[in-house]
Amino acid sequence: MDSTEFRRCAKELVDFVADYLDRIGERSVLPDVQPGFMAELLPDEAPQESENWKEVIKDIERVVMPGMTHWNSPHFHAYFPTANSYPSMCADILLSALSCIGFTWMSSPSCTEMEMVMMDWLGKAIQLPEHFLFESKGPGGGVIQGTASEATLVALLAARSRSLALTKGAKLEKLVAYASDQSHSSVERAALLGAVRMRLLPTDENLSLRGDTLAKAIKEDKDKGDIPFIVVATLGTTSTCAFDNLKEIGTVCSKEDIWLHIDAAYAGSSFICPEFRPLLDGVELADSFNFNPHKWLLVGFDCSTMWVKNRLDITEAFSVNPTYLKHEKEGQIPDYRHWQIPLGRRFRSLKMWFVFRMYGIRKLQEHIRKHVALAKEFERLVCGDARFEVVEPVLLGLVCFRLKGPNHLNEELNRRVNERRRIHITPTRVRDRYILRFAICSRVTTSEDITFAWEEIRQVAALLEK
């Protein structure tokens, strides 16, 4: 493919993409395929000779689409949203073309400096304390990680190094990390990867981890001679969008000199709205804070933004410096390779730049508010039907509900709804109660889609009664 062909083929593909997204709601949101379906559709080996673009583009529908779960369909209400927007897609084309690997400032100055400015822009949009911004000229700053899981692991490894340095001669097996029993599986996994013990602490009646629970656990461990070194607090849990008590936890962490990392993967985007910003109060007590614009802020996967109070905690933990990566400007500006696990990194901040400029903060706020309003609308529908109950407060774009009655009834409801493939929802289990989650996900979800989904759920519920 030369540039002339590229112009033609890429334009054709752009039309395909626009058509796909324009009519995505007409497709069945879930695929109807069995494991191994694709091997049947593809040849056993790669072609020896080049093929025709016409054949390739035709095969998207034949080979790819049958096995797609359409995450951006307005009928997708599972998990949490994954961001999708045209400005972000445009940036993806550009960053593929630039295809720089911006591990040091020198390896691509624009890649590093755009990221620094975008992290400050976003930090200000959610009113982060000044000390997290590059602009403050202090030791703080932000970085784009691939995922929230990586951000948690980076925080945990940095905290581990800091703690081992402070308690000279301490052994790894003495270190202990904490999170709530509602935290994401990636938090427990970070401790596994970091080879440290993690305690998942019980939450209160609002599924929120409280300061006194944490303080008690820390005391128990210290009495045993163990070394508490990090707490991962969650704002907006995956199961039910519950919030840990950040102020209480932060106060305990400050007193005990323990690293506080905040995982706000989903909820973080809502903090650009002043009315939701109080949910972040207490962030001034944190050592690191992370959320995923690739979930709810219209910046396509992958873009997980992480701020740290003191970047030396991270860069000193991860620094190795071979000659082939050194450069003359070292020390004057971040070399992001020291802030992350891989060496290579993409020019992801271009996606933020395009999205910020083409939407503006105001339209991004509208996007969040629209989703929250749609969730409230669904909540009202559920509350209007005596067979159902809403089981957790609806703060953002997630509604947790169930049929009044035993778990098996709700398991059956979930199974049948997804089997019909008109909408997609995913369940969770909290304290032995099986709960259905309904998340507002697509950028284009409307009030009609909410009514459609609710009718579908009611119909299936009625079938269960027979």
Ligand X SMILES: *Cc1c(COP(=O)(O)O)cnc(C)c1O
Hey, which residues between 98 and 117 contact ligand X (CB under 6 A)? none
Hey, which residues between 156 and 185 contact ligand X (CB under 6 A)? 184
426 binds ligand X (CB under 6 A): no
* Binding piece for ligand X, criterion CB under 6 A, among 189-197, 261-269, 343-351, 432-440: 261-269
> Which one of residues 73, 88, 149, 180 is an interface residue with ligand X (CB under 6 A)?
149
CB-wise, 104 or 234, nearer to ligand X? 234
> Which one of residues 133, 144, 148, 158 is an interface residue with ligand X (CB under 6 A)?
148
Minimum CB separation of residue 435 from ligand X in Å reads 16
The residues that bridge with 307 in the sheet, in sequence order, are: 142, 289
CB-wise, 25 or 146, nearer to ligand X? 146
441 binds ligand X (CB under 6 A): no
Say if CB 341 and CB 146 are below 8 A apart: no
> Which one of residues 28, 147, 251, 428 is an interface residue with ligand X (CB under 6 A)?
147
Minimum CB separation of residue 190 from ligand X in Å reads 10
Minimum CB separation of residue 150 from ligand X in Å reads 7
Gyration radius from the chain CA atoms:
24
Residue with tokens 């972040």: 280
CB-wise, 107 or 203, nearer to ligand X? 203
CB-wise, 104 or 149, nearer to ligand X? 149
CB-wise, 302 or 379, nearer to ligand X? 302
* 142: nearest Cα among 127, 121, 163: 121
Q: Checking DSSP bridges between strand 398-403 and strand 433-439, what pairing results, if any?
A: antiparallel
Long-range contacts of 199-206 (CB under 8 A, 24+ apart): 203/242, 203/244, 206/242, 206/393
Minimum CB separation of residue 78 from ligand X in Å reads 12
CB-wise, 82 or 254, nearer to ligand X? 82
Minimum CB separation of residue 360 from ligand X in Å reads 25
Minimum CB separation of residue 81 from ligand X in Å reads 10
304 binds ligand X (CB under 6 A): yes
Hey, which residues between 215 and 244 contact ligand X (CB under 6 A)? 234, 237-238
349 binds ligand X (CB under 6 A): no
* Binding piece for ligand X, criterion CB under 6 A, among 47-55, 90-98, 260-268, 317-325: 260-268
* Binding piece for ligand X, criterion CB under 6 A, among 64-72, 130-138, 143-151, 383-391: 143-151
Count of residues binding ligand X (CB under 6 A)?
Answer: 14
Dist. CA 128–CA 123, nearest whole Å: 5
Minimum CB separation of residue 321 from ligand X in Å reads 29
Minimum CB separation of residue 18 from ligand X in Å reads 27
CB-wise, 148 or 156, nearer to ligand X? 148
CB-wise, 80 or 434, nearer to ligand X? 80
Write a three-state SS string for 75-87. CECCCCCCCCCHH
CB-wise, 72 or 238, nearer to ligand X? 238
292 binds ligand X (CB under 6 A): yes
Residues forming the site for ligand X (CB under 6 A): 80, 147-149, 184, 186, 234, 237-238, 263, 265-266, 292, 304
